């Protein structure tokens, strides 16, 4: 179960990208091998089915959400801790 989102402006009742309402999926901004850590630190956003599909099928929004996750994490825990936990930078 994902921790409550640390990402600013994420809401459980609206898509983070387009602001549409339910149904929503929880998307891990840092996914793949980073998914568990993203869960632990609340680096998730709520996405509607359409935006979530576009992200996974076409990569739309993915780099932006990765960067937002890193910036958010670093504001709370610092850059050194981000690098210790995730091992790479997602900043463009």
8 A C-beta contact, residue 73 and residue 43:
yes
Share of the chain above pLDDT 70, in %: 97
Domain ranges of the chain: 24-86
Q: Which two tokens stand for residue 28?
A: 């891990």
Q: For residue 92, what are the contacts with CB-CB under 8 A and spacing of at least 6? A: 63, 67
For position 13, what pLDDT does the model report?
A: 93
Whole-model pTM: value is 0.90
Q: Which of 20-24, 39-43, 72-76, 82-86 has the lowest mean pLDDT?
A: 20-24
């Amino acid at each position: 179960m994902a921790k409550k989102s640390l990402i600013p402006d994420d809401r459980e009742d609206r898509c983070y990208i387009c602001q549409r309402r339910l149904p929503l999926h929880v998307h891990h901004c840092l996914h793949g091998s980073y998914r568990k850590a993203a869960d632990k630190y609340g680096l998730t956003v709520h996405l509607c089915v359409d935006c979530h599909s576009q992200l996974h099928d076409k990569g739309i929004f993915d780099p932006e959400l990765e960067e937002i996750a890193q910036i958010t994490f670093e504001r709370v825990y610092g850059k050194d801790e981000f690098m210790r936990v995730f091992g790479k930078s997602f900043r463009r």
